[in-house]
Amino acid sequence: APPLVSTCIRQLRPDLARYAPQPHWPEQEGPEAPLVMAVLSREAKLAADAAFKAAEHERAMRLYSVAMGCNPHKGEEAALLGNRSLAQLRMGQPDAALSDALAATISAPDWPKGWARKAMALKALGDHAAALAAAEHALELSPEDKAFRAMRDELSQLLAATPAAAAPPPMGVLI
């Protein structure tokens, strides 16, 4: 079931306090609910972006989650997942970051930042070969992006410097 307007308002109340006077948010679900939910999702994303820039990564992660939950159209889902993935990486949670990055690449397979987030999470987990493959895919989708090129080059160097015995086994290989 889609989230209720009241649920999103309750989760965002501190971040909506900047409105003066407070807008009238509908208490009941009605025909305007999708529009209200889209506005709330945008507000949650803006608050999450601000929290991320202030290095409040846990708060940013929570607000990106709220933005996804409030978004009735799911149009920005990949970007929200990618941003939450980066916040999780900054919090030292590479497994959760990889989960969100994978979801972002499924939601928007042609969005290069999703693949870059996947590469970053895989690198943090020590899987340099898979990270390199993801970085190369990001670069294929956006060949002019200097950051993706630098990521690919760094991962290539890391992989070349990793002795074969120390490298993790390929994904899907049982030991």
Could you report the per-residue pLDDT of 13-26, keeping only the tens digit for each?
A: 666 655 544 555 55
Rounded to two decimals, the pTM is: 0.79
**What pLDDT, on a 0 to 100 scale, did the predictor assign at position 170?**
64
Could you report the per-residue pLDDT of 37-87, keeping only the tens digit for each?
A: 788 888 889 999 999 999 999 999 999 998 888 875 666 899 999 999 999
Three-state secondary structure of the chain = CCCCHHHHHHHHHHHHCCCCCCCCCCCCCCCCHHHHHHHHHHHHHHHHHHHHHCCCHHHHHHHHHHHHHHCCCCCCHHHHHHHHHHHHHHCCCHHHHHHHHHHHHHHCCCCHHHHHHHHHHHHHCCCHHHHHHHHHHHHHHCCCCHHHHHHHHHHHHHHHHCCCCCCCCCCCCCC
Structure tokens at 47: 């608050």
Four-residue CA torsion sign, 126, 96, 102, 86: negative
**What pLDDT, on a 0 to 100 scale, did the predictor assign at position 133?**
97
Confidence of residue 4 (pLDDT cuts 50, 70, 90): low
Could you report the per-residue pLDDT of 114-164, keeping only the tens digit for each?
A: 999 999 999 999 999 999 999 999 999 999 999 999 999 999 999 998 776
Residue written as token pair 């898979």:
130
**What pLDDT, on a 0 to 100 scale, did the predictor assign at position 43?**
86
Could you report the per-residue pLDDT of 79-114, keeping only the tens digit for each?
A: 999 999 999 999 999 999 999 999 999 999 999 999
| Average pLDDT over every residue of 29-42 | 76
Backbone angles phi, psi at 31, to 5 degrees: -65, -20
Residue, of 54 and 11, whose pLDDT is higher: 54
